[in-house]
Structure 1
Amino acid sequence: MTTAKDAAVLTNARAFVSRNPATGKLIAAHDTADWPAVEEMLDQAATAFTRWRRTSVEHRAALVRGVADQVRTRRKELAALLTEEMGKPITEALAEVDKCVWSTNWLADNAPSMLMPQPMVSPYDDAFVAFRPLGTVLAIMPWNYPLWQFFRAGIPALLAGNCVLLKHAPNVSKCALVIEELFLAADFAPGVVSAVLMDTELAERAITDPRISAVTLTGSVGAGRAVGATAGAHVKKVVLELGGSDPFIVLQDADIEAAAQAACRARMQNNGQSCIAGKRIIVVESVAAQFLERFRAAVAALRVGDPTDPATDIGPLARRDLRDQLIRQQNESIEQGARVLVGGRPMDRPGWWYQPTVLTDVTATMPVFSEETFGPLTGVMVVPDEAAAVAAANDIDLGLGASLWTADLDRARLLSAEIEAGMVFVNAIVASDARLPFGGIKRSGLGRELSQFGVREFTNIQTVTLTSSPR
């Protein structure tokens, strides 16, 4: 039911509005922050940083483990919120919550060694490299993994001694607010982690403010360009995790049944709304018919329905415009000669639903292959051989991840050097893992998240030399 307060907020074109993607009904409406409110949070973060930076990494890690405990305790509640605000199936929402818990604990356990000063060989009596925090990091986060995206970017920055100011996507405002709540409940001081419901204009202004030291963004290529340009003009460090149109390459010696099942999972996870989904499927001709038969069957077997039902595989798209974009990409590809193998239609029901869809007879210039698709739509390209498969995989200006399927692991090691991507997973779907660096090349972004590389991204890698004899 829309309250009088909600109705008043909805008259503001800049309001943060959450709607249930399964029904289209209003969940929440929030006024956006004005600049004085943002300034208050920046001041609070700057004050908090003076203490937070001087705490030991062991103390930071202990507090971070407390956040993991909070998330574990509220597991079902948080998963239900993820499903409500962005439409992911409840089983995947629970998995996202569990991933936050495990990854947070792993990073907390390992950050002390990752941030330990490193001795260096030099002509001085002693020399070492220390990893010092930068200040407050502005985290501009997307809606598709509302909890995990922040934890992936924010936890390493916090362990390194930075404060984090979260600007989340407008359609997951309740998730944004609950993130701050989790940290406060785990005894973090106010200002170390804050969520602010500000629009793009104020976010850009915040980047220019001296109280922001660095920016991490997960979002579109266009957003990355804008954020990178603003941060660059003010000489501030950025990590950009942008678009992905990952190739899923099936060679002639692959386990075809395993590859087909994995391709279905890779493409359709999170209702197809993942930057690391296997969006461009490239199959060597000699095994194409066998692969397509199994892949079609796997996609056709997916259960589309109520995302709160544990039996559901595919829920709605998160917003109407995402569905409209997917329809355009499909129809333009069909006009250019693609053929529908399975699916192919939006679903006539409240909310923003789209059938899991596979197109065949795809060429490199079709939108389903040349553009990033964000939803349960994929195209399959058949190529004559391995060399053509790698060439097709690289024939795009994105380079996040790639999945390669072959029985010859020695050959796979060589081919991985030819694939233009930040991550190559052989006989596995591309995934984020706290133990491994995550990020891309080309227009897929800059910098790395997770592992020791992510923990050190927002640090001053400071050289220190000591000598008893003046030089």
Structure 2
Amino acid sequence: MADTVTTINPYTEHPIKEYRLLDEKAAQQAVDNADKCFQSWKLVSIKERAALALNLAKVLESQQQQLAQLMTDEMGKVKAQGLQEVQLCAEICRYTAKQAAEVLADEQRDTENGRAIISYQPIGVILGIQPWNFPLYQVIRYSIVNLVAGNTTVLKHASNVFGMAEKIAAMFLEAGFPTHCYQSLLIDGDTATGLISHPKVRGVSFTGSDEVGKSVAAAAAKLAKKTVLELGSNDAYLILDDADIELAVKTCVEGRMVNNGETCVAAKRFIVTEKNYADFKHAFATAMAHLKMGDPNAEDTDIGPLARADLRDKLHQQVTESIEAGATVVCGCEIPDQRGFFYPPSILENVSPQMPAYDDELFGPVASLIRAKDDAQAMQIANDSRYGLGGGIFSANVEHAIALAKQHFDTGMVNINGYGLAQPNLPFGGVKDSGYGREHGGFGLREFVNVKLIMVANKD
């Protein structure tokens, strides 16, 4: 097993920095340190914890250029989108700080012979296993709610963004959080899995593929430890009979291409009714063809490289298997002959079940175009998925779309006539193979707490 990791710039293909991995003993010691910190951190008032979250927001904003550049260098994010990610993280810190006192406040209830106190108490060390595609956001999302709730955290970040992992740890210290309250551990997957069984790890928050997520959940469940899972998806966007096609095309291009297409909640399957199929296909393909692929540092770049060569190769294999099974190419779908781990904006049509483009998650700039005979069949196809993270509906009849979203769309989140990523004040998460649990909108503050009941009897 290698004891070092070298990060690679996906645009230049040049190495950035070599990192030495912690061994199992050092990782176990880090958890012990986190638990020791927890014994005092849990006694710090919510007000003081929230104040440190506000400090972290300021630290993030003061270093936004450096952070965005690090994202661009390590995983190919378009620079402007990196700046947006930093701002989102700062707002998450502020929202968490604002909501904490109310969300975590004790509740009083009457009992037959007295009164009861319901208290939301922290439980200990929470292990985070987070991916590379939003290398700052994924970490802040899980860690800040747990820290403000009074837990401590240890993070296993993706190895291709170890520079960000180290930077985040430094920023928590700069914001005033105690040593060992938050720790980034430079460890491999096997070591991280081993930490699940550490007696001081009380919960696990995982973001990544559904296959790995299920194995993490299984390991935790054997020890009766709670997990929060935010897994993959192949989100469906429905273009119904009365949709505004111009709006739908513009929004769907954005929803498919954001973050170079490497987004769990990206628009991935586009289900268009027969009435609009030809018009949507033509306009969608035209818009995709006009996107500029290139240097993620350049202001006019729409799409940068994929984060790693193996990820690009896996995506192309999924595309190739879909074509061999009968899908046809509308545009793209070939690896360009140039430096960098690029994959072009691509569209497949005639996509059907048993194809990767229909059943699986294509984690890159490839859209699956699916024809439906009418609105009812469009919804049926949308739900024909093991995933259920997000989705979208385009319709002039907003109330009808809301009813479809509430009663029929089997996902955790639905966009109507638009596309949106995470927002601090709204819950984020899915159902089915896309996982469970929520870490925004105040919900994350209660994911890893002990809902403790204290009953006080009246004196005779």
Shorter-chain TM-score category?
Answer: over 0.9
Does 2:81 align with 1:84?
no
Does 2:435 align with 1:445?
yes
> Is the CA contact (8 Å cut-off) linking 2:197 and 2:220 kept in structure 1?
yes
Name the amino acid aligned to 1:110: Q
What residue number does 2:42 align with? 53
Does 2:227 align with 1:226?
no
Does 2:337 align with 1:337?
no
What residue number does 1:241 align with? 230
What is the distance in 2 between the residues matched to 1:441 and 1:387? 22
Q: Is the partner of 1:243 in helix, strand or coil?
A: coil
> Is the CA contact (8 Å cut-off) linking 2:236 and 2:271 kept in structure 1?
yes
Shift of residue 126, structure 1, vs aligned partner: 2.0
What is the distance in 2 between the residues matched to 1:119 and 1:138? 31
> Is the CA contact (8 Å cut-off) linking 1:403 and 1:430 kept in structure 2?
no
Q: Equivalences for 1:7-22 in 2 at 5 Å?
A: 13-22=2-11
Does 2:198 align with 1:198?
no
What is the distance in 2 between the residues matched to 1:333 and 1:430? 28
Q: Is the partner of 1:304 in helix, strand or coil?
A: coil
What residue number does 1:325 align with? 314
Name the amino acid aligned to 1:435: N
Q: Equivalences for 1:249-264 in 2 at 5 Å?
A: 249-264=238-253
What residue number does 2:335 align with? 346
Q: Equivalences for 1:409-448 in 2 at 5 Å?
A: 409-416=398-405, 417-448=407-438
> Is the CA contact (8 Å cut-off) linking 2:38 and 2:152 kept in structure 1?
yes
Shift of residue 140, structure 1, vs aligned partner: 0.4
Q: Is the partner of 1:213 in helix, strand or coil?
A: strand
> Is the CA contact (8 Å cut-off) linking 1:16 and 1:197 kept in structure 2?
no
Shift of residue 124, structure 1, vs aligned partner: 4.0
User: How high is the TM-score relative to the length of structure 2?
Assistant: 0.97
What residue number does 2:30 align with? 41
Name the amino acid aligned to 2:439: E
* 1:177 counterpart (166, 169, 186): 166
Name the amino acid aligned to 1:298: A
Q: Equivalences for 1:22-421 in 2 at 5 Å?
A: 22-416=11-405, 417-421=407-411
> Is the CA contact (8 Å cut-off) linking 1:281 and 1:381 kept in structure 2?
yes
Name the amino acid aligned to 1:350: R
What is the distance in 2 between the residues matched to 1:21 and 1:395? 34
What is the distance in 2 between the residues matched to 1:122 and 1:358? 61
Q: Which runs of 5+ in 1 are unaligned?
A: 1-11
Cα 1:278–1:14 change in 2 (3 A) is farther
Q: Residue deviations 1:184-203, cap 9 Å, x none?
A: 01111111000111111111
Name the amino acid aligned to 2:18: A
> Is the CA contact (8 Å cut-off) linking 2:88 and 2:424 kept in structure 1?
no
What residue number does 1:6 align with? none
What is the distance in 2 between the residues matched to 1:121 and 1:370? 51
What is the distance in 2 between the residues matched to 1:278 and 1:328? 20
> Is the CA contact (8 Å cut-off) linking 1:22 and 1:351 kept in structure 2?
yes
Q: Is the partner of 2:11 in helix, strand or coil?
A: coil
Q: Is the partner of 2:25 in helix, strand or coil?
A: helix
Q: Is the partner of 2:183 in helix, strand or coil?
A: strand
> Is the CA contact (8 Å cut-off) linking 1:333 and 1:368 kept in structure 2?
yes
Q: Is the partner of 1:120 in helix, strand or coil?
A: strand
Name the amino acid aligned to 1:231: A
> Is the CA contact (8 Å cut-off) linking 2:205 and 2:227 kept in structure 1?
yes
Q: Is the partner of 2:351 in helix, strand or coil?
A: coil
Shift of residue 336, structure 1, vs aligned partner: 2.4
Shift of residue 121, structure 1, vs aligned partner: 4.3
> Is the CA contact (8 Å cut-off) linking 2:61 and 2:90 kept in structure 1?
yes
Name the amino acid aligned to 1:272: G
Query: Cα RMSD over matched residues?
Result: 1.3
> Is the CA contact (8 Å cut-off) linking 1:136 and 1:213 kept in structure 2?
yes
Name the amino acid aligned to 1:366: M
* 2:444 counterpart (450, 454, 458): 454
Identity %: 39
What is the distance in 1 between the residues matched to 2:430 and 2:89? 21
Cα 1:95–1:448 change in 2 (3 A) is same
What is the distance in 2 between the residues matched to 1:128 and 1:278? 44
What is the distance in 2 between the residues matched to 1:375 and 1:20? 17
What is the distance in 2 between the residues matched to 1:210 and 1:386? 52
Name the amino acid aligned to 2:360: E
Q: Residue deviations 1:261-282, cap 9 Å, x none?
A: 1100111110000000111110
